Chains A and B, each alone.
Chain A
Amino acid sequence: MSHFLDDRRKMSRRTVLRAGAISLALPFLDVMRPRRARAAGAVPKRFVVMFTPNGTIHPSWVPSGTETTFTLSPILAPLAAHQSELVVVDGLYQQGGGGDGHQNGIGGMLTGQMLNPGPFQGGANIGAAGWANGISVDQEIAAHIGGSTALPSLELGVQVGSADDWGRMIYGGANQPLIPEENPALAYQRLFATRGASPEQLVALRARKKSILDAVQEQLRAVSTRLGASDRARLDQHAAALRDIETRLDAQAMPSMSCADPGGPVLPASLTDNDNFPAIGKLQMDLLAVALACDLTRVASLMWSRSVSMTRFTWLSPAVLDPHHDLSHKPDSDTASQDKLTRINTWYAAQFAYLLDRLADAQETDGTRLLDNTLLMWSNELGKGNTHSRQSAPYVLAGRAGGALRTGRFLTYTGDPPHNNLLVSLLQAMDVSIARFGKDDWCTGPLSGLL
């Protein structure tokens, strides 16, 4: 065990944060420096997805200019400081199927798969459908690079509030949606569960947990043998989750030993009050950045609201009082509403910029910035809100992925190439050797010209 533990410790010390860089106030800790210089390339890559809902206003979103010389649009203007670290991708067709446009848009966004049949009905449109029919791109990446960290991946949400296929975008596999944590305090607990414990206490805690988990696994096996195949499959998923937790017990013990505990977040009075949306989002972004910087996970996602979001952007100036989804169905000719939607999406761009700032603030042991080793994708379940069209869905990539992605570019595609191709390229940028992803007939290979 000690050898393994020692190895974990080194891995967890890869990252040094600049003092005060993150609002959770991670102190600069000299002990977090590695004991010896690491070879170039040893800093891990990270992958982040950020989702915002209800489509964009394409004319206000699309940059102008050429691939390498372009001017950011009004919506993307808050990202100006990071323009050289972006790849704006226009013209892809976001595949999806089953259910209504919102449902299958979000179900297919990261999986490149149809929704399976199922009982979800309701929302603005009615379309009976179930969960998506495959793994999402981030989880495929996590399966390759998430193995040694405390959490294989971290799913965070901001007032998602919808436990159905409008409120899920991450899938561990077909029909296996992953739940985003919407409470920053619980997310913090999960990341820093063993804060403050001594090494001896940690050894004892791990031993206890292992003995409990092993015994529960035994019961899962015993019960399973008496059940039919579909019930057994449900318990198999439970057992797999338990195994995942068990194999990460050692890594989970590390935060208190090698990475600064940022302290628990101070929550707003209500997590469901619409007006606290920005404050909760900021806490979640701070936690996401800390989790990556501390190498507690290498794959993370942030889900702002949900597909068919009804968020009211009361904090904008002037305030937008209409629920987002209601606005998103206003016609193109309604310029007042288009302006409101542009301002909403501009606000989301500013949040993405904030997240990039946090990753740029965190310095890695080799002197690079966390952002340099991260690949981020900001995506939406729709292209256009008022028609549910998924043509020219808005994708913004950021970060250099350790050099795999050439940034400072604006790419325009014609002929509606499937977004599955983008997902393949993201996987390849993250060193996952794969030629196709998602539904086979929606994918023709990597996205030409991206990498």
Chain B
Amino acid sequence: MWTTSPGRSWAVQAAALASWMMVLGLGACGSGGTGGPKADGGEPPVTSSAGPLCATRDPGPSPLRRLTAGEYARTVHDLLGGDLLDVSRLPPGERALGFDNNADVISTSDLLVGAYEDLAEQAGDVVAGNLATYVPCAMSSPDAACAARFVTDFGGRAWRRPLDASEQAALASVFADGATAGGFAEGIARVTAVMMASPQFLYRAEPGAGASADLSGAVALTPYELATRLSYLIWGTMPDGALFDAAASGRLATQADLAREARRMLGDVRAHAVVSTFHAQWLGLDKLQGLGKDAVVYPLFTPALADAFAAETNRFVDEVVWNREGTLAALLTAPYTFGDATLAAFYGLAAPAGGGVGLLPTGGTQRAGLLTQGAFLSVYGKANQSDPVHRGRFVRERLFCTTPPPPPQNIIIRPPDLDPRLTTRQRFDQHTSDPACSGCHQLLDPIGFGFEHYDGMGRWRDMEGGQPVDGSGTVTGTDVDGDFDGAVQLAGKLAQSTEVQVCYATQWFRFGYGRGETDADACSLHDLATAFVTAKGDVRELVVALTQTDAFRYRRAGDLP
């Protein structure tokens, strides 16, 4: 059962309150650096300033969402019963705040719309070429009534709700024109293409069901709109029959209904793809594709190794979330990973017992959790050296949700040159000795230096520049301040941080709702974070909690005509 506002325990609320100040605020750099320099008159960073905590319930904005390339592919798969279209031609979605589904920045150009059109026609040809499968009535009576039945059934699934009379009529007329031009199959091909090129398929328009009875200024969503929100949130694809049935029979009305469906859906393998996508984008692992290293410094770093890293982290997330502990803490600290003999050798571990890819216990001294895996370490590693600044920045930005301001304009920003006599830490000394740099880098480097036992491709090292590696570091300005030695210890700290849990929930908010958080979302974010903390960082419970917020259940009345 889900705790909503009245049921929050004070302890959790206090912890979450403390973290809002940090999570929603800007990272301050030294003295007077709050807000950071604004580059060339630019706007302040998107992270909003700390505001009053959940003063007014508000669903926040609900910008029109379009299926991402991945959602499009999965939806077409479910709709047509196979990977029957050349979806690879869809351009990748715009990336903002790490995720490829941010509705505020989607672009619409001839290239994309033309691809939608061509794919819709391809779908029409697939359907028309397999009438027995898709339009069974065509076998006995290929007529307008049969076409109308097809439009009702296929259209209801493609548009994720029953079609209204005017839509039925418009599509009947498309069929009739096609049938006149080229016979029954041509009519079916055209009407299929129209359905799949229409906004009801490509976008997630939500006209809503009128003013909400329980939240003023809000519009309630229709059961089908909620079913669609659920299915794309949890599965990244269209609703299944059970979800359509729940919508049709009024079983998506309450928070408990939504939680029940969410739990059912999390038990389906389709949920794995979304959880996998979230973590890959949160960690920036798509950068592994095409990532190159200096072949002289890192001859071991090949495309095959990069692929192995990507597969490792993906499998690890899958196992932790679905088969093992299920928590953020385990993602950060689990003393095991998955790989084959080659990967095991790279990590200095024993090959998996049964051959092939298997469980690799790490012992938890050199490796434990996502931040000690090759994928993270090589993406956040330079081509020829480690990268304490960006590793530290990742922790600040993606784990604490604080945004260090950019370096000042018109200074030379460069990684220090390689010097065989010095360690990376020594070479980055300028950051702390030069006052122009030290303000911000004191937030980044003392965390990033904790990763110094891993080189630019993630291999463990005890020595660098002829000297022992110093992997010690310090966390400041958080709820887990203090010194640590090495990334495994750092991960242990992060796993205990409420702020990190709140930030992880905020990342899911951005990904799950396809937008950045705003001041108006304070209550939704608070409910989300509270539920996650209460559930001791259980990732599946966080996904369920995403279905319980005002942001999920309503939209603003002012956003509709």
Contacts and interface: CB of A to CB of B under 8 A. Distances in A.
A172 interface: yes
A237 B108 contact: yes
Nearest to A125: B406
Nearest to B69: A163
Contacts of B181: 204, 207-208, 211
A384 to B, nearest CB: 9
Contacts of B174: 211-212, 215
B93 interface: yes
A392 B405 CA distance: 27
Contacts of A129: 42-43
Nearest to B298: A321
Interface string A216-234: 1011101101111111001
Contact of A234 (B102, B108, B171, B292): B108
Contacts of B415: 326, 329
Contacts of B409: 101, 388
A226 B207 contact: yes
Given A125-B406, A218-B170, A227-B207, A213 B117 contact: yes
B203 interface: yes
A136 B3 CA distance: 51
Contacts of B15: none
B291 to A, nearest CB: 8
Contact of A209 (B89, B117, B203): B117
A387 B412 contact: yes
Interface in A137-193: 151-152, 155, 159, 161-164, 168, 172, 176-179, 181, 183, 186, 189-190
Nearest to B284: A122
A130 interface: yes
B407 A125 contact: yes
Interface stretch (A36-44, A112-120, A257-265): A112-120
A83 B44 CA distance: 45
A218 B382 CA distance: 52
A375 to B, nearest CB: 23
A223 B199 contact: yes
Decide if the interface of chain A is mainly helix, strand, loop or mixed: loop
B45 A126 contact: yes
A96 interface: yes
Given A129-B43, A245-B117, A235 B199 contact: yes
A124 B413 contact: yes
A181 B92 CA distance: 11
Contact of A272 (B45, B46, B289): B289
Contacts of A209: 117, 121
B561 interface: yes
Most buried by B among A128, A159, A245: A128
A97 B104 contact: no
A33 interface: no
Interface stretch (B141-149, B190-198, B360-368, B523-531): B190-198
A230 B559 contact: yes
Nearest to A108: B40
A100 B45 CA distance: 11
Interface in B198-250: 198-200, 202-203, 205, 207
A10 interface: no
Contact of B110 (A104, A127, A152, A164): A152
Interface in A294-337: 310, 312, 314, 321-323, 326, 329-331, 334
A10 B559 CA distance: 50
A244 interface: yes
A212 B43 CA distance: 43
A1 interface: no
B383 A322 contact: yes
A178 B414 contact: no
A60 interface: no
Contacts of A225: 561
Interface residues on A, range: 35 or more
Contacts, number: 260
A211 B178 contact: yes
B469 interface: no
A121 B96 CA distance: 7
A179 B42 contact: no
Contacts of B393: 126
Given A209-B117, A234-B64, A322 B413 contact: no
Contact of A322 (B95, B121, B205, B384): B384
B177 interface: yes
Contacts of A241: 108-110, 112-114
A323 B41 CA distance: 30
B417 interface: yes
Contact of A104 (B42, B45, B194, B295): B42
B43 A155 contact: no
A117 B96 CA distance: 12
Contacts of A322: 294, 383-384
A212 B193 contact: yes
Interface centre among B89, B105, B409 (most CB of A within 10 A): B105
Contacts of B199: 219-220, 223, 235, 238
B109 A321 contact: no
Contact of A118 (B95, B104, B205): B104
Contact of B203 (A179, A230, A235): A235
Contacts of A204: 181-182
A216 B405 contact: no
B64 A227 contact: yes
B104 to A, nearest CB: 6
A321 B296 contact: yes
B154 to A, nearest CB: 15
Contacts of B7: none
A115 B42 contact: yes
Contacts of B314: none
A97 B40 contact: yes
Given A323-B292, A326-B415, A331-B414, A126 B403 contact: yes
A312 B292 CA distance: 8
A98 B170 contact: no
B303 interface: yes
Nearest to A244: B110
Given A126-B403, A126-B405, A322-B383, A273 B108 contact: no
Contact of A211 (B111, B120, B190, B405): B190
B303 A119 contact: no
Contacts of A120: 96, 105
Given A118-B104, A176-B108, A128 B194 contact: no
A381 to B, nearest CB: 13
A206 B528 CA distance: 51
Contacts of A230: 63-64, 559
Contacts of B560: 226-228
Contact of A98 (B41, B93, B98, B411): B41
B448 interface: no
B140 interface: no
Nearest to B289: A272
A207 B167 CA distance: 22
A234 B108 CA distance: 8
B197 A216 contact: yes
A228 B397 CA distance: 33
Contact of B96 (A116, A151, A164): A164
A178 B296 contact: no
A178 B46 contact: no
Contact of B107 (A176, A226, A387): A176
Contacts of A326: 382-383, 414-415
Contact of A163 (B95, B182, B384, B410): B95
7 contacts: A125-B406, A126-B404, A127-B39, A178-B107, A212-B193, A227-B207, A238-B113
Q: What are the 9 tightest A-B residue pairs by CB atom distance, in nearest-first order?
A: A329-B414, A117-B43, A241-B113, A272-B290, A226-B207, A231-B64, A98-B42, A128-B45, A237-B108
Given A127-B406, A189-B89, A242-B117, 17 more contacts: A104-B42, A118-B105, A126-B45, A176-B107, A178-B111, A179-B107, A209-B117, A213-B117, A215-B170, A223-B200, A225-B561, A226-B561, A235-B64, A241-B110, A274-B290, A312-B383, A331-B412
